[in-house]
Amino acid sequence: MDEPPLARLRRLCLAFPETSERISHGEPAWFVREKRSFANYADRHHDDRVAFWCAAPPGAQEVLVGAAPGRYFRPPYVGHRGWLGAWLDVPVDWEEIAGIVAEAYVTVAATLPRRRGESPR
């Protein structure tokens, strides 16, 4: 049997260093250094769809939503900041999602101040 979308997403998000999970706004969310979120699960949050929202590099939201609006969308609340939404109730290319999650992590991690004694990336 296939792994549920939340379990797959959780595994992808928690694979990065200094990542944690906690409930935010009633849904699972993943944070870098327990400070800033880089991805949120959305289980019928505003509609009857299952999805996740994540940080994205500049321009990625427009490109992906424009190319595949049946798979990607501009999420509420954070879409104006360039975040990307991805439907998980359609056939999902989990390799592509893994890349999107990795970009989300890097996008947020790069904005956090380095810890004392930590070398630049």
**Residue spans per domain, the chain:** 5-86+103-109
| Measured distance CA(61)–CA(64) in Å, rounded | 5
For the 5-86+103-109 domain, the top CATH level (class) is alpha beta
The answer on pLDDT for 120 being more than 60 is: no
Q: Averaged over 10-37, what is the pLDDT?
A: 96
pLDDT in tens, 28-54: 999 999 999 999 999 976 778 999 999
pLDDT of residue 66: 98
Q: Averaged over 3-9, what is the pLDDT?
A: 95
Are residues 16 and 37 in contact, defined by beta-carbon separation less than 8 angstroms? no
User: What interhelical angle do 94-109 and 5-14 show, nearest 10?
Assistant: 40
pLDDT of residue 117: 60
Q: What angle do CA 115, 38, 85 make, to 5 degrees?
A: 165
End-to-end CA, the chain: 40
pLDDT of residue 44: 75
pLDDT of residue 121: 47
